[in-house]
């Protein structure tokens, strides 16, 4: 899988991929420069992105096209996002999930209470509007 940074020309393809999994689209365009995309033979098969808030980040838009799941592409795109975060000197990553709380511990994420999230991260559209209060919040320290 070839991984590269997203560009505005990719926005329709990204929205199509995220839409298949009912992942939030709000805030996507504002954070396009922090999105990574995975391609196989020119087809978008995976995505992951960051919203950056000081030294903290919000991992978002992690998706792998259905026919490409269980082949290690999810792990590859998430690990690439960790390297991207390290290059930006982030010290912690948070995420919100309603369906993948059992997937992310393999990467060192653990559940936390919403009150443990820095106020700046809580300004994210995902915290403020897109994800329900029932979403699990997780953190990974880098």
**Tens digits of per-residue pLDDT, 69-102?**
889 999 999 999 999 999 999 999 999 998 889 9
Q: Supply 34's token pair.
A: 């922090």
pLDDT at 91: 97
- Of 39, 34, 50, the closest CA to residue 3 belongs to 39
Residue 7 sits in a domain of what CATH number?
A: 3.40.630.30
pLDDT at 131: 65
Confidence of residue 134 (pLDDT cuts 50, 70, 90): confident
Contact of 62 with 112, CB cutoff 8 Å: no
> Containing domain of residue 82, as a range?
2-141
Task: State the pTM of this model.
Answer: 0.92
Tell me how many domains the chain contains.
1
């Amino acid at each position: 899988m070839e991984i590269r940074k997203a560009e505005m020309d990719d926005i329709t393809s990204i929205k199509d991929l995220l839409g298949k999994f009912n992942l939030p689209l709000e805030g996507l365009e504002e954070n396009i420069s922090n999105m990574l995309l995975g391609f196989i033979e020119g087809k978008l098969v995976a995505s992951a992105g960051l919203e950056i808030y000081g030294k903290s980040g919000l991992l978002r838009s992690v998706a792998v096209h259905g026919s490409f799941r269980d082949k290690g592409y999810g792990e590859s795109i998430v690990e690439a996002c960790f390297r991207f975060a390290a290059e930006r000197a982030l010290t912690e990553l948070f995420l919100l999930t309603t369906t993948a709380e059992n997937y992310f511990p393999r990467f060192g994420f653990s559940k936390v209470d919403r009150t443990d999230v820095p106020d700046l991260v809580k300004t994210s559209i995902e915290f403020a509007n897109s994800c329900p209060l029932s979403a699990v919040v997780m953190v990974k320290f880098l």
